């Protein structure tokens, strides 16, 4: 009888352990956070509030009327790009498997570089689990809206070509330039929303898939490729795999170029 009771107890213990594991897996960041290492405040991205509003965004092919993008709800976005110091905490905690190179430019509060889109996904999962709040990449339009800070156009250098159909050619003009060293994320001045670094410290990954629109005899056809993601920022160095567009570019999610970083978004 005692053997039977022991066997039943072992089976019940195994069942409860399996149930707890399933609950933890499907529960999302809120519950998993209680099992994740605590992250001190100094390693958390500083966020600023982006109010509701709308912007007009030029179409990728430079033709037609700009599309209106409305943001019905405010959201939080990183005041700065994610830094090496913040990334290295993820690496030490085991949430990030890749320790990116700083190219000898320094780590600390410089923007993390040498990270692929997949690497960034690991960081976001770790941060979400550790805090119980969902962090993600901004969409292409969210990034643009935060960078413009309510203005009609983004501040920054004038384009090299006035014809928007030739915007891609800027990459070839810039090919001879050496990649500039990154600067600390708090360099320069913030825009009206309090966001730093949108004028070109690094190119920043977004969550938006690359999309091209083609003219055919049957009208316009749009094709999306989520193996390629949109980047936002100011072009600093030519990449052979880099696909130039008017206000942003696309790059395969796998390479880890030295001028690619990111900032986070958190929904309210």
> Which token pair is 45?
């991205």
Cα dist. 152→79, 146, 232 in Å? Answer: 21, 12, 17
Q: Residues, the chain, total?
A: 268
What is the Cβ-side half-sphere exposure of residue 102, based on CA atoms within 13 angstroms? 17
Regarding pTM above 0.85, the answer is no
Q: Which domains does the chain have, with CATH numbers?
A: 41-267 (3.90.1580.10)
Contact 160, 207 (CB under 8 A): no
Separation CA 182–CA 201 (nearest Å): 6
pLDDT tens-digit profile of 33-88? 445 568 899 999 999 999 999 998 876 655 667 888 999 999 999 999 999 999 99
- Helix 84-93, helix 117-131: angle, nearest 10: 70
- Element containing residue 212 per DSSP (H, E): strand 203-216
Residue range 82-126, pLDDT digits in tens: 999 999 999 999 999 999 999 899 999 999 998 888 899 999 999
């Amino acid at each position: 009888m005692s053997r039977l009771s022991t066997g039943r107890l072992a089976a019940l213990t195994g069942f409860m352990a399996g149930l707890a594991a399933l609950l933890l897996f499907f529960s999302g960041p809120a519950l998993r956070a209680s099992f994740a290492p605590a992250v001190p405040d100094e390693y958390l991205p500083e966020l600023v509030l982006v109010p509701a509003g709308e912007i007009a965004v030029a179409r990728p092919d430079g033709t037609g009327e700009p599309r209106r993008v409305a943001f019905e709800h405010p959201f939080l976005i990183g005041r700065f790009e994610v830094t090496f110091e913040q990334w290295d905490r993820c690496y030490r905690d085991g949430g990030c498997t890749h320790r990116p190179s700083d190219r000898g430019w320094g780590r600390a509060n410089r923007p993390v570089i040498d990270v692929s889109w997949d690497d960034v996904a690991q960081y976001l999962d770790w941060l979400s689990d550790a805090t119980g709040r969902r962090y993600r990449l901004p969409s292409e339009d969210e990034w643009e809206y935060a960078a413009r800070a309510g203005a009609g156009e983004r501040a920054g250098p004038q384009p090299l070509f006035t014809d928007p159909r030739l915007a891609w050619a800027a990459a070839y003009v810039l090919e001879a330039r050496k990649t500039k060293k990154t600067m600390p994320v708090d360099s320069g001045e913030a825009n009206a929303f309090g966001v730093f670094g949108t004028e070109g410290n690094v190119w920043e990954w977004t969550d938006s898939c690359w999309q091209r629109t083609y003219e055919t005899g049957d009208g316009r056809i749009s094709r999306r490729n989520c193996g390629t993601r949109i980047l936002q920022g100011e072009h600093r160095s030519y990449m052979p795999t880099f696909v130039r567009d008017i206000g942003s570019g696309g790059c395969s999610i796998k390479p880890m170029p030295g001028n690619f970083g990111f900032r986070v978004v958190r929904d309210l």
